[in-house]
């Protein structure tokens, strides 16, 4: 199994994050999942803890520095260490004022960046501080892995249905941070990558899932699936990039988009 014996810190406990937790447990990993919604963390723990003792959940707002630090301390207290981090939390900022740039509110911009880019920064920073501190005393084959959640909208825009420019910019920031950090931390044997999904059937895409015009658009824009993507397909790719099978991959952004970026 690709993750046997490893501990995975997942920032998020629903949608693609939850699917990744489920697969990671099947792969033999221990999972520590963090989300600010207690209903979400409680549901995931109740679902999976009945099958295994290898999962723990924790409620924290990952946009708050102190809460991120507390979450990592709790993960280490629970499992003794962690080997890989998947940052999968984020929001659509539309209800906060995100939209086309001329109409986007400052609150929409700030809220979207806080929940998408700032959380990625805080989670990555905490993980890297831990990995670097243990690096000099660990055998050469042990290292750290970080995987961030981006989006195809960061570099493949769509004007009719997805004109949320704060969201695109926040995910672009995640990509830039991922690539620049990957270059810096490669000598520490830490690999850092991102995945960029197309439109996925997750809680964040509820609006799109109930819009016939968007569903018809997606049928052509994501021709490999002819529909919204299954969160499990994103999780499968995440598991690979979090495992030792991807130990020589870093600074990459993997599009999992059903053909979005190559379709009209």
Q: 161 in a domain, yes or no?
A: yes
CATH number at residue 176: 3.40.50.720
pLDDT averaged over every residue in the chain: 93
Quick check: is 241 in a domain? yes
Tell me whether residue 2 is in a domain: no
Give the pLDDT confidence score for residue 1 in this predicted structure.
64
pLDDT value at residue 114 = 98
* Triad 96, 102, 106: Cα angle to 5°: 40
| Phi and psi based region of residue 49 (left: phi greater than 0; alpha: psi -120 to 50; beta: remaining) | alpha
Q: Give domain status of residue 226, yes or no.
A: yes
258 Ramachandran zone, left/alpha/beta (phi>0; psi -120 to 50): left
Average pLDDT over residues 229-257: 96
What percentage of the chain reaches a pLDDT higher than 90? Answer: 84
- Which residues are marked as active site? 167
For 193-234, what is each residue's pLDDT tens digit? 999 999 998 877 777 778 899 999 999 999 999 999 999 999
Q: What is the pTM of this model?
A: 0.94
β 55-59/190-197 pair status = unpaired
Residues 6+ apart with CB under 8 A from 170: 90, 93, 112, 113, 115, 116, 117
| pLDDT for position 235 | 97
- The strand ranges marked E within the chain are 7-11, 30-35, 55-59, 84-87, 144-149, 190-197, 253-256
User: pLDDT over 70 for what percent of the chain?
Assistant: 95
Task: Kindly state whether residue 1 falls inside one of the protein's structural domains.
Answer: no
Say if CB 7 and CB 75 are below 8 A apart.
yes
Residue 81 structural domain: 7-262
Task: Provide the pairing of β-strand 30-35 with 253-256.
Answer: unpaired
The better pLDDT of the pair 175, 5 is held by: 175
- pLDDT of residue 139 exceeding 60, the answer is no
pLDDT digits (tens, 9 = 90+) for 30-49: 999 999 999 999 989 888 87
Domain count, the chain: 1
Helices 165-185 and 106-113 cross at an angle (nearest 10°) of 30
Per-residue pLDDT tens over the stretch 77-98: 999 999 999 999 999 999 999 9
**Domain assignment present for 142:** yes
Would residue 125 count as lying in a domain? yes
Q: In this structure, are residues 90 and 14 in contact, taking their beta carbons and an 8 Å threshold?
A: no
How far from 185 is each of 16, 50, 53, 79, 188, CA to CA, in Å? 26, 38, 33, 24, 5
Separation of alpha carbons 203 and 191, rounded Å:
29
Domain for residue 111, yes or no?
Answer: yes
């Amino acid at each position: 199994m690709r993750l046997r014996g490893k501990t995975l810190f997942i920032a998020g406990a629903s949608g693609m994050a939850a699917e990744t937790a489920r697969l990671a447990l099947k792969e033999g990993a221990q999972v520590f999942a963090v989300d600010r919604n207690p209903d979400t963390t409680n549901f995931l723990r109740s679902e999976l803890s009945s099958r295994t003792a290898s999962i723990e959940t924790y409620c924290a707002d990952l946009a708050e520095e102190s809460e991120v630090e507390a979450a990592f301390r709790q993960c280490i207290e629970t499992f003794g260490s962690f080997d890989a981090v998947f940052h999968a939390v984020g929001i659509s900022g539309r209800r906060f004022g995100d939209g086309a740039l001329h109409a986007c509110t400052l609150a929409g911009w700030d809220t979207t960046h806080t929940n998408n880019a700032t959380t990625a920064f805080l989670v990555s920073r905490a993980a890297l501080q831990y990995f670097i501190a243990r690096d000099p005393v660990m055998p050469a084959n042990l290292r750290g892995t970080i995987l961030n959640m981006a989006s195809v909208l960061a570099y493949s825009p769509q004007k009719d249905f997805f004109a949320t420019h704060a969201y695109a910019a926040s995910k672009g920031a995640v990509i830039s941070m991922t690539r620049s950090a990957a270059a810096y931390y490669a000598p520490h044997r830490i690999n850092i990558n991102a995945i960029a999904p197309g439109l996925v059937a997750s809680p964040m895409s509820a609006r799109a899932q109930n819009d016939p015009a968007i569903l018809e658009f997606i049928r052509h824009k994501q021709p490999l699936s002819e529909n919204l993507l299954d969160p499990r397909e994103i999780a499968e790719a995440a598991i690979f990039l979090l495992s030792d099978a991807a130990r020589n991959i870093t600074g990459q952004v993997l599009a999992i988009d059903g053909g979005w970026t190559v379709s009209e």
